[in-house]
Amino acid sequence: MRDDPTSRYSARVFWSRSDAAFVATCPEFEGISALGASAEEALHELGVVVGLAVETYEEAGWDLPAPFEEPEHSGQFRVRLPRSLHGWLVWEAQREGVSLNTLIIARLAEARGGSQQAAAGTSPGDLPEDLEPTIGQRTDDVRTSRRPGSRPRARKAARG
């Protein structure tokens, strides 16, 4: 049985006010779209249209567009920021009793409108516990040390 080439292509579905219908498009095939009363119907119709596009390309001897692939991300990136903002973030992390990394992950997740799992694109339970930081959890990256009446200060945890 031959693999269905249309199943490898991506789809985008959105509501169109002007069409009063859901519109499904396939980014790999520029200019084709399908309409439906529901998102599911629009996706089904798009499958038909993409199938016809694949047939047309094959009959004409044209190369099929390569399906888009989800890029793999390392989970790390470097950010340059003003020293004052860096200092404020460190102070906030100390105040919360968490590492700077944990604070930034939590704040990014909040800004995205959800939990750390939503920020990671996962559902609860998909991440190992050590990758599901929450405010209040301490890690080995930054520790706080406080003397009575003193402001929090950061020091690097001993690595061993």
79-100 per-position pLDDT tens digit: 999 999 999 999 999 999 999 9
Sheet with 12-16, strands from edge to edge, namely 12-16, 21-25, 33-36
Model pLDDT, residue 21: 96
pLDDT score for 113: 83
Lookup: tokens for 107: 């704040």
Cβ-in-10-Å burial (0-12, 13-18, 19+) of 78 comes to exposed
What pLDDT is attached to residue 140?
Answer: 39
pLDDT value of position 102: 93
Q: What per-residue confidence (pLDDT) applies to 114?
A: 65
pLDDT > 60? residue 141: no
> Average pLDDT, stretch 31-40?
95
93/104 Cα distance (integer angstroms): 9
What pLDDT, on the 0 to 100 scale, is given for residue 118? 44
Q: What is the largest CA-CA distance in the chain?
A: 80
Q: What is the pTM of this model?
A: 0.47
- Please give the average per-residue pLDDT across 108-135, as a whole number: 54
Name the residue with higher pLDDT: 124 or 117: 117
Whether 15 has a pLDDT exceeding 60, the answer reads yes
CB atoms under 10 Å from CB of 35, counted, come to: 15
**pLDDT-based confidence at residue 2 (cuts at 50, 70, 90):** low
The Cα–Cα gap between 130 and 88 comes to 25
Q: Looking at 18-32, 100-114, 143-157, which range is the least confident one?
A: 143-157
What is the pLDDT at residue 112? Answer: 87
Looking at per-residue confidence, does 154 or 48 come out higher? Answer: 48
Structural contact between residues 42 and 13, judged by C-beta atoms closer than 8 angstroms? yes
Residue 26: per-residue pLDDT: 94
Owner of token pair 């095939």: 29
Q: Among 156, 111, 116, which Cα is nearest to 135's?
A: 116
